[in-house]
Amino acid sequence: MSGPGSSDTGPSDTAGIPFSGREVTSTGFDDDRGQADAALMAALASGDEEAWVAALAESRLLVPIVAAPTEVDTSGEHAVEKSTDMAVVTLTAPDGTKGLPVFTSLEALAAWDPAARPSPVKAAFAAQAAISEECDVLLLDMASEHRVVVRASMVWALAQQQAWVPAYRDTHVRSAIGQAVRVEEAVLAQECVDGGEGVLRLRLTLAPGLSQDEVRALATRVGERLAADGETRARIEALAFEFVAA
């Protein structure tokens, strides 16, 4: 006689399909012991953004999977979960920024939520998942002292499996800016400057005699041209203008 979870050919799953004869495919992390990548941790400690984004691109990350109720019985005094499903976690900040938490190690994950299940993935896949979940950023090791926000342009570069550079040194961005200001006769020169915290400061040298309204309109036109190109928009997290009189 066959009992639950068994068949004439041996144990089976809940659908009655025997486990015998199945092939288990490798996840690519068979030897992973859940430890943080030493090169990534060293790069994070250095504070060099380009260095740690480059190290992150080569690292394995742990995406937390948690139980989420799919059916809740509210007929009684207390709500009771009748069924749950496992889901990826996303967090939303008060300013509306949405983030996907990721972790470098089992220890870092457990410090945030001991009940979360780790799903090991390459950083590119984590970035792609963040984009599919409409997240703006990745939140790396958010319960640790070395926690860091992987900003939008970094997430885009990781998802595209491209090297990340700050916008003020990005050749694509600099070219796009050159095209955006070329038609503006009042712009005599432009320069891309690091505005800090992911801000690209665009310094424009303007011909004399422009009113504030004319300067404001010029900045709007340039910004709209840059925003019209999806790749340029992905590479620029924030844009600030600085105007210099000739």
CA 22, 28, 32, 35 dihedral sign is negative
The pLDDT assigned to 30 comes to 72
Average pLDDT, the chain: 87
Bridge partners (DSSP) of residue 98 are 92
Report, as an integer, the average pLDDT of 111-126.
95
Best CA proximity match to 244, nearest among 201, 213, 198? 201
31 confidence band (pLDDT: 50, 70, 90): confident
The pLDDT assigned to 21 comes to 54
Report, as an integer, the average pLDDT of 125-149.
96
36 confidence band (pLDDT: 50, 70, 90): very high
Separation CA 168–CA 160 (nearest Å) = 19
User: Which CATH architecture best describes the domain 38-160?
Assistant: 3-Layer(aba) Sandwich (3.40)
- Amino acid (one-letter) located at 128: Q
Domain ranges in the chain? 38-160, 167-245
Helix crossing, 49-57 with 152-160: angle to 10°? 40
Q: Quickly name the fold that domain 167-245 has.
A: Alpha-Beta Plaits (3.30.70)
Query: Do residues 220 and 204 touch, judged by C-beta distance below 8 A?
Result: no
Separation CA 102–CA 43 (nearest Å) = 17
101's tokens: 């938490």
Report, as an integer, the average pLDDT of 69-74.
52
The pLDDT assigned to 246 comes to 86
- State the pTM of this model: 0.81
In this predicted structure, the answer to whether residue 72 has a pLDDT above a threshold of 50 is no
227's tokens: 């925003």
β-pair type (199-206, 238-245):
parallel
What φ, ψ does residue 50 adopt, rounded to 5°?
A: -60, -40
Query: Do residues 12 and 6 touch, judged by C-beta distance below 8 A?
Result: yes
190's tokens: 């432009």
In this predicted structure, the answer to whether residue 37 has a pLDDT above a threshold of 80 is yes
Q: Is 6 exposed, middle or buried (0-12, 13-18, 19+ CB in 10 A)?
A: middle
Among the ranges given (83-92, 101-110, 118-127, 151-160), the one the predictor scored with the smallest mean pLDDT: 83-92
